[in-house]
Amino acid sequence: METPEWINQAPGIWSTVVGKPEDLTPLKVAGATPRLAALREMGEGEFPLDPRTITTESVSSRTVIRIPLDSEEAIFGLGLQFLKVNHRGRTRYLRVNSDPRQDTGETHAPVPFYVSSRGYGVLVDTARIVTIYCGSCVRRDTPNPPALKDRGRDPDWEPTPTSDAVEIVVPGEGVEVFVFAGPTPLEVVRRYNLFCGGGVIPPRWGLGFWHRVSLQYNHEQVHAESMEYRNRDFPCDVIGLEPGWHSKSYPCSYEWAEDRFPDPPRFAEKMAAEGFHINLWEHAYVSPEAKIHAELEPLSGSHTVWGGLVPDYTLPEAREILKAQHEGTHLAAGVSGYKIDECDGSELTGCSWMFPAHATFPSGHDGEQMRQVYGLLLQKMTTEIFRKHDRRTWGLVRASNAGACSFPYVLYSDLYDHREFVRALCNSSFSGLLWTPEVRSAATAEEWVRRMQVVCFSPLAMLNAWSTSTMPWSFPDVEPIVRKYLKLRMRLMPYFYSAFARYYFEGVPPFRAMALEVPACDLDDQYMAGDSMLVAPMFAGETSREVCLPEGVWFDFETGKRFEGGGTIRVFPGLETMPVFVREGGLIPMMPPLPHAPRKGERVPLEVRHYGNAPGRLDLFDDDGETFAYQRGDYRWRTLEVTVDSGGTRTGTMSEVEEDRESSYGEIAWMFT
């Protein structure tokens, strides 16, 4: 066993190279540049563990890293996990798989990065399937052996013995390991996100409502269905086309089906005139009928998926072929983004699809590695196409890995358990991931409402009606409630948009787990939205729920009712309300519930709500909302501030915009609660 040397890579971030790492890794694929200036602002931080206690060894072509744990330590993260928040005492098998049926750790985005409740993080940068024993295997030479118990007599006997270390097992000859300092779990996550390039800011329209139409719709049906949103007074910004827009899908041609979409640019233009952006579904497997098939054939792997080629997108030549085709056929027609489906693969008992781990690729990589990073490769490639045209995109992807936080993609799933969807929303925040608990169908109007309420407080608010043909008003009894939430989503755009700007500039996840607010809190059914809002979803069948409010004073977002924090309260909201609380001093900037997001240069009035008697401040982000100008320095922060004088009178101000700069915000009205 060896004790590695740790080399400082950035403020509060160290790494060590164990053995001989492979050339294909998630961080290398993602290729992000660390945001060093922002990391410097966070301060250096001390190496958060005793380096003498971290050991590495090579055992039968596996690299093993051992990191001690204390008895109370909780382990968060490891990607988009659906079944647990705290992984302490569990063994996690981090393989990309869309259909994990058990609590194994497999998921769409199994990021080999964990955050300890003690305020440090560990990342192993590998494209191999890692096993992480999160305090679930015990060495004979441990100084803290678990107490021996007798299953026949001790009622607290447990199948997993308590262990005092994490053991990370990477198949292969080596790996680079990173350690991130805190001191708090939120600061660990911030350092991780900033090291991976900082979070992403969506275009404003990405934060509007999304609707995906039925699989086989043609341009007229798409237009007619979209206009229903306008006619019924429901906001909507993005219409997603599902497989039927391709001339061939499963595998994909990437060419428009001429019978359904005879004139794509005209169709997109007509939709744009009504304020709709178009998002295209695709997967990576190339149909023999695709025009790019012949060119991609020599650049593809040994196996097919659904009869389609699996291009080796680690090769620049392969990437260029797809990029040119997409640019010419989709972007030129006015398409705004993609839903990149099925890059995860599935293994269910008796049903499976994906190229196998032993598949070979022209670059020399194998199927195991490619599958672990395929989602990242596709995100990066498609992001670059839009960047070339200085257009921001916002899309969906079904597989991801470490280093993805700067990609404009939100994860989704075919799984549909509502509690798991909320838990995934919490967990995504530990690993630089975004997640949408998309709505597709519901058994009852009540479930419909509860799902709609949650999705409107997530990184991407979407109704995915591809197979259900549902509309927001599909349950007429609750239509007004659903309209209220879709409008609330639109009204909160300035607040959410500024929360995303903090993700980019400071690495703070816009939607985040409670453990990032209160380190020992592993709740999985409530979360923070932006800095001031705490969201406590209701699930079908519930009439009340407990909400844990952190220290301080909190207010009900809608009624303004005051609550003392630092404990648990029980609330009894009706169906028309999902409990949302705002911390004292919190500022919530809102805009009118427009049918779609304001376009570049369009100005909206603001209503700013302030809660309680404490002074407050919020940095409101403003830019053109559509291009990368903000990355070239063209953006502004407007300071919203509320002061309270000795008589308790509150006054709100907004800082002026510099003379040569434009403002997206017009008149401002203050509301004091």
Site residues for ligand GAL per CB under 6 A: 242-243, 281, 341-342, 414, 464, 466
Nearest distance from C-beta of residue 353 to ligand GAL, angstroms: 10
Q: CA-CA distance, 172 to 61, in Å (whole number)?
A: 5
**Cis upstream peptide for 183 (omega within 30°):** yes
- Residue (226 or 436) nearer to ligand GAL, CB: 436
Nearest distance from C-beta of residue 128 to ligand GAL, angstroms: 26
- Residue (22 or 99) nearer to ligand GAL, CB: 99
Long-range CB pairs of 13-17 (<8 Å, 24+ gap) are 13/39, 13/178, 13/179, 13/180, 13/181, 13/191, 13/195, 14/47, 14/178, 14/179, 15/176, 15/177, 15/178, 15/179, 16/56, 16/176, 16/177, 17/174, 17/175, 17/176
- Residue (182 or 206) nearer to ligand GAL, CB: 206
What DSSP element (H or E) covers 241?
strand 238-241
- Residue (114 or 466) nearer to ligand GAL, CB: 466
b/e string for 253-268 if b means 16 or more Cβ within 10 A?
Answer: bbbbbeebbeebeebb
Nearest distance from C-beta of residue 393 to ligand GAL, angstroms: 18
DSSP β-ladder status, 337-340 and 277-282: parallel
- Residue (466 or 557) nearer to ligand GAL, CB: 466
- Residue (63 or 413) nearer to ligand GAL, CB: 413
CB 529 within 8 A of CB 422: no
CB 508 within 8 A of CB 502: yes
Q: Is 311 helix (H, G, I), strand (E, B) or coil?
A: strand
Count CB-CB contacts under 10 A for residue 543: 9
Nearest distance from C-beta of residue 466 to ligand GAL, angstroms: 5
What DSSP element (H or E) covers 564?
strand 562-564
- Residue (414 or 479) nearer to ligand GAL, CB: 414
Nearest distance from C-beta of residue 243 to ligand GAL, angstroms: 5
- Residue (88 or 108) nearer to ligand GAL, CB: 108
- Residue (396 or 449) nearer to ligand GAL, CB: 396
Nearest distance from C-beta of residue 414 to ligand GAL, angstroms: 4
Instruction: Give the Cα-Cα-Cα angle 104, 106, 108 (nearest 5 degrees).
Output: 155
Nearest distance from C-beta of residue 218 to ligand GAL, angstroms: 17
Nearest distance from C-beta of residue 101 to ligand GAL, angstroms: 17
Nearest distance from C-beta of residue 368 to ligand GAL, angstroms: 22
Count CB-CB contacts under 10 A for residue 418: 18
CB 563 within 8 A of CB 555: yes
Nearest distance from C-beta of residue 285 to ligand GAL, angstroms: 12
- Residue (359 or 462) nearer to ligand GAL, CB: 462
Nearest distance from C-beta of residue 250 to ligand GAL, angstroms: 7
- Residue holding tokens 């700067």? 406
Q: CA-CA distance, 627 to 600, in Å (whole number)?
A: 9
Nearest distance from C-beta of residue 439 to ligand GAL, angstroms: 12
Nearest distance from C-beta of residue 396 to ligand GAL, angstroms: 8
DSSP β-ladder status, 636-644 and 351-353: unpaired
- Residue (382 or 673) nearer to ligand GAL, CB: 382
Q: Is 6 helix (H, G, I), strand (E, B) or coil?
A: coil
H helix intervals, 301-410: 316-326, 367-388
- Residue (15 or 249) nearer to ligand GAL, CB: 249
- Residue holding tokens 């497989």? 243
- Residue (245 or 256) nearer to ligand GAL, CB: 245
For residue 370, give the amino acid letter.
M
Helix-then-strand count for the chain, H and E:
12, 34
Residue nearest ligand GAL (C-beta atom): 414
Dihedral sign computed on CA atoms, order 348, 343, 422, 433: positive
Q: CA-CA distance, 456 to 478, in Å (whole number)?
A: 16
- Residue (243 or 652) nearer to ligand GAL, CB: 243
Nearest distance from C-beta of residue 338 to ligand GAL, angstroms: 12
- Residue (187 or 438) nearer to ligand GAL, CB: 438
- Residue (341 or 641) nearer to ligand GAL, CB: 341
Nearest distance from C-beta of residue 464 to ligand GAL, angstroms: 5
Nearest distance from C-beta of residue 440 to ligand GAL, angstroms: 8
Q: How many residues does the chain have?
A: 673
Q: CA-CA distance, 73 to 375, in Å (whole number)?
A: 32
Q: CA-CA distance, 213 to 242, in Å (whole number)?
A: 7
| Residues with Cβ within 8 Å of residue 135, at least 6 apart in sequence | 69, 73, 75, 88, 89, 162, 163, 164, 165, 166
How far is residue 363 from each of residues 62, 126, 297, 620, measured CA to CA in Å?
Answer: 23, 17, 13, 46
